């Protein structure tokens, strides 16, 4: 297997990752690049982490879900070689009950709501700026009249 570049990153919630420990470092700090010749394993979507201890005796475990029914734990190595690679999430298997996934409809509705709120906030900011400009004009007129 050819070498694959991996990254020493902290996973972000609701994103999917592959995990491997790096075997080779290229470059010097801060421009280091990490590579592994071991094929990375798909661990799934990041859901939570647990951290205990302090300093040299600290431990960290990340938890992922490759599918709805199981949970995968990735324990960070003492040497700090634990690496991840962000990948697109794989489709989850539908159950045989014949239920239809309604994710598409919900997503469309959510986007529609966001659009509406964006439009409302734009209108509010426009109103505020209009009010400010009107107030400025009035004060300028008053000042001009006072001077005469």
Phi, psi of 94 (to 5 degrees): -80, 145
pLDDT over 70 at 99, yes or no: no
Question: What are the structure tokens assigned to 135, written together?
Answer: 């107030």
Question: Residue 64 class from Cβ within 10 Å (0-12 exposed, 13-18 middle, 19+ buried)?
Answer: buried
User: According to the model, what pLDDT value does residue 145 have?
Assistant: 65
Residue-wise pLDDT for 69-92, tens only, equals: 789 999 999 998 999 999 998 876
Q: What is the pTM of this model?
A: 0.58
Question: What are the structure tokens assigned to 107, written together?
Answer: 């997503």
Q: Are strands 4-6 and 33-36 parallel, antiparallel or unpaired?
A: antiparallel
User: According to the model, what pLDDT value does residue 77 have?
Assistant: 92
Domain ranges of the chain: 4-87, 111-148
Cα–Cα distance list, 132 to 2, 5, 119, 120, 143 (Å): 63, 54, 20, 19, 16
């Amino acid at each position: 297997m050819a070498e694959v570049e991996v990254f020493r990153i902290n996973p972000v919630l609701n994103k999917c990752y592959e995990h491997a420990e790096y075997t080779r470092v290229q470059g010097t700090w801060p421009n280091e690049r990490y590579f592994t010749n071991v094929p990375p394993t798909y661990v799934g979507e990041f859901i939570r982490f647990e951290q205990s201890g302090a300093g040299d005796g600290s431990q960290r475990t990340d938890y992922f879900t490759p599918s709805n029914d199981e949970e995968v734990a990735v324990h960070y190595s003492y040497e700090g070689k634990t690496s991840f690679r962000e990948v697109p999430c794989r489709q989850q298997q539908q159950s045989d009950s014949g239920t239809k996934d309604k994710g598409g409809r919900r997503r469309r509705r959510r986007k529609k709501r966001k659009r509406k709120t964006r439009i409302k906030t734009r209108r509010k900011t426009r109103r505020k700026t209009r009010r400010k400009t009107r107030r400025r004009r009035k004060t300028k007129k008053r000042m001009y009249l006072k001077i005469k």
